[in-house]
Amino acid sequence: MMNEFIHVTWNDIDELLDIVHEKIESPIDKIVGISRGGLIPGVMLSHRLGAGFEPLEWQTRDGHFKDTIKANNFNKNLNGTLFVDDICDSGKTITQIKEIIPDSRWAVLHQKADLELDFVGQRLYNENRWLIYPWEKI
């Protein structure tokens, strides 16, 4: 049963955020963390960058609420804005938000889906195990 999961540690999170942070060249003024998984890495990255933080609720797995009104408001000024999520698993969340905010830039800790993203900590193509982050319980 343990082989069905990858347990991500806080040290892993720090290392992945360092990788993402090193790749960012343009100034970032605001991080938008995708609720729920992107909130903690989003806040952590905002501290590293000295940027503001704002959450965006968008549920595709644990509910169905999508804050499209707030998402539409981000289109008004995307300069210096970076959207952050923990994982791009199926790509559904990012794809849906990009339909509303086509010019959004994205950072994720882990990427499984074959999408074009701006900043990726680690690519996990062909990895079927579920990732358990330190802030989650199974």
Q: What is the DSSP string of 101-118?
A: -TT--EEEEEE-S----S
pLDDT in tens, 70-85: 676 776 778 889 999 9
pLDDT band, very low/low/confident/very high, at 1 (cuts 50, 70, 90): very low
Q: Residue 93 domain-assigned?
A: yes
* pLDDT number for residue 63: 60
Q: Using CA atoms, how far apart are residues 111 and 132, in angstroms rounded to an integer?
A: 14
Distances (CA, A) of 109 to 41, 53, 119: 8, 17, 8
pLDDT in tens, 18-67: 999 999 988 999 999 998 899 999 999 999 999 999 998 876 666 666 66
pLDDT band, very low/low/confident/very high, at 86 (cuts 50, 70, 90): very high
Question: Can you say how many angstroms the Cα of residue 40 is from the centroid of all Cα atoms in its chain?
Answer: 10
Domain span holding position 29: 2-132
Backbone Cα Rg of the chain: 14
For the chain, how many structural domains are there in total?
1
* Residue 8 CB contacts under 8 Å (≥ 6 apart), including other chains: 109, 110, 131, 132, 133, 134
* pLDDT number for residue 60: 63
Q: Residue 138 domain-assigned?
A: no
The residue count for the chain: 138
* pLDDT number for residue 53: 95
Q: Residue 35 domain-assigned?
A: yes
Distance spanning both ends of the chain, measured CA to CA? 12
* pLDDT number for residue 126: 86
Q: What is the CATH number of the domain that holds 82?
A: 3.40.50.2020
Q: Using CA atoms, how far apart are residues 92 and 113, in angstroms rounded to an integer?
A: 9
pLDDT in tens, 89-122: 999 899 988 988 888 999 999 999 999 999 999 9
Structure-block tokens of residue 80: 């210096």
pLDDT in tens, 121-133: 999 988 889 999 9
Q: Residue 109 domain-assigned?
A: yes
